[in-house]
A and B are shown apart, each in its own frame.
Chain A
Amino acid sequence: MALLNKKDAALITDPLFDNNPITIQVLGICSALAITAQLEASIVMTVSVLFVLGIGNVVISLMRNIIPSKIRIIVQLVVVAALVIIVDLVLKAFAYELSKTLSVFVGLIITNCIIMGRFEAFALANGPWRSFLDGIGNALGYGVILIIVGFFRELLGTGDLLGLGQKLLGHPLLGNPIPGELSGAYAFGYENNGFMLLAPMALIVLGIVIWVQRSRNTDLIESH
């Protein structure tokens, strides 16, 4: 790539898998679990975090030489809170239903540890461009996990997937061509697993994602 040299490109690609913020750095778990019952909510959350982390990293990086280190946490919180207010107002204006589904979890982006973690670990020590790339990379790494978990929970839980599920699985009651009969996979006795929509399954699905990832890359295994 002409735009990015190898070192800069690694800032984006590393957090996607081998240094993933959720499964390896163990940051930002709260929202990853709470809003993944729907794929759409996961995608919106990813975009919100992408915005906040990308811009926030640049802002903190620009200010890194003038923030007194004793009050840096409060400065960081104010920067994030301001960005999150923007996200919240935009969501309320253009996607009101979705912002109801996400409820307090938009506000909780403020205390999402990925954001504070990247500010502390990266933006305070690097220039704006590299910080921006790091922010984008980590937000995407976060989004990958959110989307994987959201995909399985929505598909298995409701049989729907952004409104496309009926093409994949057929329809539970509405039959084609005869209305009122089961169609697709449902005709063969498939049933939705409502349990996938409840809180505990988010944890278990994420546990399984971690299991798969660490089985593929054995360097990541913890001693205990």
Chain B
Amino acid sequence: MEKGKTLNPKPLTQNLEKMELLELFFKSIFIENMVFATFLGMCSYLAVSKKVSTAVGLGAAVIFVLLITVPLNWLLDQYILQPGALKWLGAEYADYDLSFLSFILFIATIATMVQLVEIIVEKFSPSLYNSLGIFLPLIAVNCAILGGSLFMQSREIPTLTAATVYGLGSGIGWFLAIIAIAAIREKIRYSNVPAPLRGLGITFIITGLMAIGFMSFGGMLTGGKDGGSKQETISKVAIEKIKEEVESIKK
């Protein structure tokens, strides 16, 4: 994170255009889908996707926890962790940079929030607890949750609203992914998969094919103008490298 750029925590009510929020929402669901683009939360995605009903439970719990922890960690990041974020305590704290503590604070927040949510849900809504409850402890160590907060930090999401939208969108993206794979796995039981591929192997390959499908959402927000831009930058970098080497050999 660049110093100086983040010296002033931005006001919470900074007006982001609604269009931008909507864009962030769709981007976090489809284009930067947690499972298909960044592989977050793969462990529980593979372990709990044998039946649609359990997958729905875990997916809902992930949406719920991401929706709570991402904005919360955004506040922590903005007012405690960033370089200069402690300014509100007084001018003598303005130089402090606690960003090295972010891993430990984020994971502590997540673990406590998960415990808290579990207790509250158990008290007020036993029926919800029965469907979500068993998955909540699993979630504290789900990398999708910590990943959500870390991406929120590294992408410098500007406002609290945007952080909430990002948390919600990422959660929904994960939910979609796990439901889709669970539905496919329920059907694939009746197919004749080669024996060594059964179970884990075929699940990986199907997820790969689904990820290819999700890549086609890449042009959704740009009208396809910069679809394949990643590819271009890669080849550009390669060409630059080659040119440099040609130069050095000529010398």
Contact = CB atoms under 8 A, between A and B. Distances in A.
Interface in B108-158: 108, 111-112, 137, 140-143, 145-147, 150-151, 154
Contacts of A171: 242
B250 interface: yes
A48 to B, nearest CB: 13
B39 A30 contact: yes
A204 B204 contact: yes
A209 to B, nearest CB: 9
Contacts of A185: none
Given A174-B245, A194-B231, A222-B199, A111 B107 contact: yes
Interface string B206-246: 01110110010000000000000011001100110010011
B53 interface: no
Interface of B: 36-43, 46-47, 100-104, 107-108, 111-112, 137, 140-143, 145-147, 150-151, 154, 189, 194-205, 207-209, 211-212, 215, 230-231, 234-235, 238-239, 242, 245-246, 249-250
Nearest to B235: A194
A215 B198 CA distance: 11
Measured as residues with beta carbon below 8 angstroms from the partner, the interface class of chain A is: 35 or more
Given A204-B208, A211-B201, 9 more contacts: A30-B39, A33-B42, A73-B141, A74-B112, A85-B103, A172-B242, A202-B208, A210-B200, A223-B199
A215 to B, nearest CB: 4
What is the interface of chain B mostly: helix, strand, loop, or mixed? helix
5 contacts: A30-B39, A30-B43, A74-B111, A179-B246, A222-B199
A77 B113 CA distance: 14
B209 A111 contact: no
A83 to B, nearest CB: 10
A77 B245 CA distance: 46
B135 to A, nearest CB: 15
Interface string A187-224: 00000001001111111101110111111001001111
Q: Which 6 A-B pairs have the closest CB atoms?
A: A222-B199, A203-B208, A207-B204, A214-B196, A200-B211, A29-B42
A169 interface: no
Given A200-B211, A210-B200, A222-B199, A108 B104 contact: no
A199 B103 contact: no
Contacts of B199: 222-224
B107 to A, nearest CB: 5
